[in-house]
Amino acid sequence: MNKIDLAFTPALEQARLVRTKELSPLELVELYLERIDRLNPQLGSYFTVAADLARADAATKTEMLTKAEIVDLPPFFGVPIAIKDLTSVAGMRCTYGSRALMDQIAAYDDGIVSRIRAAGFIILGKTATSEFGSLPYTEPDGFAPARNPWNLDYTPGGSSGGAAAAVAAGLCAIAQGSDGGGSVRGPAGCCGLVGIKPSRGRVSQAPLGERLSGVATDGAIAHTVADAAALLDVMSGYITGDPYWLPDPNPSFLTAATSKLSGALKIGFTTSLPPIGEAAPPIEQAVLATAKLLEGMGHIIEPVSFDLTELIEPFTIVWQSGVAATGLPKEALGKMNQWLLEQTGDLSQYLRAVTQMQIIGRKTVAVFDNFDAMLLPVYMHPTIRIGEWENLSPEATLARIINWIAPCPPFNASGQPAIAIPAGFDSNGLPIGVQLVGRPAAEATIVALAAQIEAAKPASDRPPFAIAGH
């Protein structure tokens, strides 16, 4: 296998090659470190590259493979992974995309990082995020912007933009991200990848918990549904003291990704979200084409009405309150976050918004009484250029953000699982994504459905940027 093919080999297959000793962890790490060294200066997908730590871990794991007594290896033994820079990894920088925290070194591993290590992964470094994860593009002050490997003039989305750019460009096979309003699904859609936002309570946010009333959760970004599902298996589970939790999946999400669906599902779909309006033509076409594909598989497809009018104000209040919760002074923040901080009201305003958001979340879940899943756009219009909105006022920027990411936040509010999958390309050659949303705690259903779609469609090409010079 040549180096390009190996860089784009799914993580589960890489794990098999390591387990059968056809490939060593050190060979894999060196492959990705060389690609990061060569491509990341243009791509901006990693804030921090932990080359020495990754090599040391890989050397230890490679040595372990020479010992006859090593039999029962963890599922991703020796496979490199990237961690988003909103997540603490002991001994590595944790900047949160903030120029004020540029030199902060994490003193501990977050709970999911401990689980990722226990699964045998080797951490390559920390991927780029928007400042405190608050924006759907990844251009924080003091850092180079993360770029879309399909076209470097465009964003990979945000806030897990660096994670998606790294996977799409073959700078890792799989990555952890987080999603508080589309921050896994959006970048996956922008970069032609699979991105899973799990149900509320599926993944622990230990040891610190979260500050957005259950809106945000960690998720998985990968080339394939099976890889993303297997990473979700690794990250899932209760840690003592979690404010909400779900039982461990049985069977696993990987099993769901590799098993056939039994019977037809009833799937609602829409491309129009009042008061936002209709999705842009290429997005609308991608949703309709996916609906037709699902219908051809025997599923029952019905249009559904989905109105976001009541959600926009309370969700925006909760979202902007996250900026205030950082505790940083206004002057330490970027322009957009400074403005969001100024809009933050008193505690009673926040609590009213949370209450309203939870009521709307109940209404959202109730829609699924009549459907097994729902098919929607990921974003309402194609990917934007780097810096496209930088000269707009904050008010105008907020309006553009709301109109772009509209299909994502409702399911952060309701806590439902959703998965973004590739659905073609726009006229600029940039990927388009659609998302499947499931009932609460029903990740297995949408994972199986996504895998069925994946099997029926040929894999996407690799970005020319990622294979140039080979």
Note if 183 is an active site residue.
Answer: yes
Report phi then psi at 43, rounded to 5: -85, -35
Contacts 24+ apart (CB under 8 A), 203-206: 203/112, 203/232, 203/235, 203/236, 203/237, 204/111, 204/112, 204/237, 204/238, 204/239, 204/242, 204/245, 205/110, 205/111, 205/112, 205/242, 206/110, 206/111, 206/239, 206/240, 206/241, 206/242
CB 132 within 8 A of CB 322: yes
Using CA atoms, how far apart are residues 137 and 187, in angstroms rounded to an integer?
9
Note if 262 is an active site residue.
Answer: no
Using CA atoms, how far apart are residues 61 and 122, in angstroms rounded to an integer?
9
Closest listed residue to residue 147, CA positions, set 126, 168, 177: 168
Burial-class residue 410 by CB neighbours within 10 Å (0-12, 13-18, 19+): buried
Pair of tokens at residue 283:
């997005």
Using CA atoms, how far apart are residues 394 and 384, in angstroms rounded to an integer?
17
Find the catalytic residue in 98, 134, 183, 252. 183
Find the catalytic residue in 24, 45, 159, 236. 159
3-class secondary-structure state, position 248:
coil
CB 106 within 8 A of CB 115: no
Note if 460 is an active site residue.
Answer: no
Counting every residue written for the chain, the total comes to 470
Cis peptide before 463 (omega within 30 of 0): no
Find the catalytic residue in 84, 126, 130, 178. 84
The angle subtended at Cα 408 by Cα 359 and Cα 333, nearest 5°, is 95
Closest listed residue to residue 177, CA positions, set 169, 167, 243: 167
Using CA atoms, how far apart are residues 202 and 191, in angstroms rounded to an integer?
25
Q: Which positions are annotated as active-site residues?
A: 84, 159, 183
